[in-house]
Amino acid sequence: MIIEGRALVIAKDDVDTDVLYPGQFLNVLDPTEMARHLFEGLDPSLRHELDGDTILFGGENFGTGSSRENVPLAMRAAGIRCVVAKSFARIFHRNCINLGLPAIACPEAAAAARTSLPVRVDTERGTIEVDGVTHTARPLPPFMLELLEAGGLVPWISASVRRG
């Protein structure tokens, strides 16, 4: 899978899902409406940087804390096509993959990225090109690539049920 877009960088470690999507908005079910609350507890002005296809970059332990899937749902609805971080918290990473949103750990790319630089990601090869410079991550495990290829966990399960 090849993904292209502009970088949006959150240059902090341990960014939790509470600041990415505060608890007071957890009664929202519509992803488009969720997108209006994305980054609310961190820096609402980051939403202004979301213009077209976006690759979001984070620091260490990105997405720590609550399992709220509102975060990747809001990200997807806001045009974020891929998340690259120095490292991920487990549940957030699962949630992204399950929703078909590639989430790749690549410390070098996360350190090199600056907001609005052009980015190109090759999920199979695990390469992240930031402003023309290629950084190589450890590719996602085959099972996660299979989920992403299927479009996420729900279509993957639907297809396996159909296959029997």
Partner 1 sequence: MGHTLAEKILLAHCDADDLAPGDFAMVRCDVVMANDLGGPLAARELAKMADRVFDPARVVLVADHLMPAKDVRSAELQKALKDWAHQQGVTFYDQGRGGIEHTLLVEEGWIVPGSVVVGADSHTCTYGALGAFGTGMGATDVAGCLAIGSFWQIVPGTILVELAGEKQGFVAGKDVILAVIAELGVAGATNMALEFTGDGARALSVDDRLAISNMAVEAGADTGLFPADEVTAAYLDGRTERPWTAERSDPDAEFAHYLRIDVSALGPLVALPHSPGNVAPLGDVAGRTIDQVYIGNCANGTMTDLRQAADVLHGRSVHPRCRAIVVPATQRIYRQALAEGLLDLFVAAGCIVSTPTCGACFGGHSGILAAGERAIATTNRNFRGRMGSPEAEVYLANAWVAAAAAVAGEIVHPAEVVGA
Say whether residue 151 binds partner 1 (CB under 8 A): no
Residue among 1, 11, 51, 90 that touches partner 1 (CB under 8 A): 90
CA distance 124 to 82: 13
Write out the binding residues for partner 1, residues 131-150 only, by CB under 8 A. Answer: 141, 143, 147
Report yes or no: 110 and 135 within 8 Å, Cβ to Cβ: no
> For residues 41 and 79, which CB has a smaller minimum distance to partner 1 in the complex?
41
Say whether residue 126 binds partner 1 (CB under 8 A): no
> For residues 7 and 70, which CB has a smaller minimum distance to partner 1 in the complex?
70
Q: Which of 92, 75, 84 is nearest to 112 (CA)?
A: 84
- Helices 90-98 and 70-77, packing angle to 10 deg: 50
Length of the chain: 164
Show the binding pattern over residues 25-64: x = contacts partner 1 (CB under 8 A), - = does not: -xxxx-----------x------------------xx--x
Residues paired with 133 in a beta bridge? 130
Say whether residue 115 binds partner 1 (CB under 8 A): no
Segment (H or E) for 118 = strand 118-122
> For residues 10 and 119, which CB has a smaller minimum distance to partner 1 in the complex?
10
Q: Which of 89, 128, 132 is nearest to 109 (CA)?
A: 128
Residues that bind partner 1 (CB under 8 A): 14, 16, 18-19, 22-24, 26-29, 41, 60-61, 64-69, 72, 87-91, 94-95, 98-99, 141, 143, 147, 152-154, 157-158, 161
